[in-house]
Amino acid sequence: MIEKIAKEIIERFPRDHKETDPFRVLISTVLSQRTRDENTERAARKLFEVYRTPEDLAKAKPEDLYDLIKESGMYRQKAERIVKISKIIVEKYSGKVPDTLEELLRLPGVGRKTANIVLWVGFRKPALAVDTHVHRISNRLGWVKTKTPEETEKALKRLLPEKLWGPINGSMVEFGRNVCRPVNPKCEDCFLKKHCEYYRKRRKDSEV
């Protein structure tokens, strides 16, 4: 049943990744931390218009990026990370983004979510990125009972076939923004309410 529901979420909330170049996916995901998608897209577009390659960014100073990526928020910290990441990729990996989880996690500011997005979107490797949406929705539905995104990732990998790992992240993000929102979720309009523990509990509580 869980696999069937996951497939339906993916079908109803498809997410196309316009950018699939591993380096641009990596840098865009760093920019996306703690900001909205539209801010990330604007900042990434401005950045890549000026700095097109890891080599270009490796030569930059963090302050050179401030105005370009300001819209993404936390721009000083992100600029420093982006320059450091670019230098490491140029010096250690000959300008190519590493394609293993272990190596990606060694890059500054790269956590499991970012690394898994790069593996799936940039390299089409089976990887399951868990952000706040995936963590929240999986727990609300009752698929998992976890406290952290990392625990959720491990649990979902046991529940879902590999072919769904990559697509489920983007689709749950869209589902989480539009229906299963953090605050005031649209439970009554949700196509999954009959399968949802959170919905059943809310109804039960409202009847008391």
Residue 134 contacts residue 173 (beta carbons within 8 Å): yes
- Distance (Å, whole) CA 149 – CA 196: 19
Q: How many residues does the chain have?
A: 208
Q: Determine whether 94 is exposed, middle or buried from the number of CB atoms within 10 Å of its CB (0-12, 13-18, 19+).
A: exposed
Tell whether 196 is in a known binding site.
yes
The pLDDT of residue 197 is: 96
Which of 3.30.70.560, 1.10.1670.10, 2.40.37.10, 3.40.630.30 is the CATH number of 2-14+129-207? 1.10.1670.10
Strands of 34-122, DSSP E: none
Coil, helix or strand for 80?
Answer: helix
* Residue burial 4-40, b: 16+ Cβ < 10 Å; e: rest: eebbebbeebeeeeeeeebbbbbbbbbbbbebeeebb
CATH number belonging to domain 22-123: 1.10.340.30
Tell whether 187 is in a known binding site.
yes
- Give the end-to-end CA distance of the chain in Å, rounded to a whole number: 30
pLDDT in tens, the chain (208 residues): 999 999 999 999 998 888 899 999 999 999 998 888 889 999 999 999 999 999 999 999 999 999 999 999 999 999 999 999 999 999 999 999 999 999 999 999 999 999 999 999 999 999 999 999 999 999 999 999 999 999 999 999 999 999 999 999 999 999 999 999 999 999 999 999 999 999 999 888 776 5
The pLDDT of residue 208 is: 53
Q: Indicate the pTM of the whole model.
A: 0.92
- Distance (Å, whole) CA 78 – CA 124: 25
Residue 12 contacts residue 175 (beta carbons within 8 Å): yes
Residues forming the active site: 113, 131
Q: Structural domain boundaries of the chain?
A: 2-14+129-207, 22-123
Coil, helix or strand for 16?
Answer: coil
The pLDDT of residue 158 is: 97
With DSSP H G I counted as helix, E B as strand and the rest as coil, what are the percentages for the chain, rounded to 5?
70, 0, 30
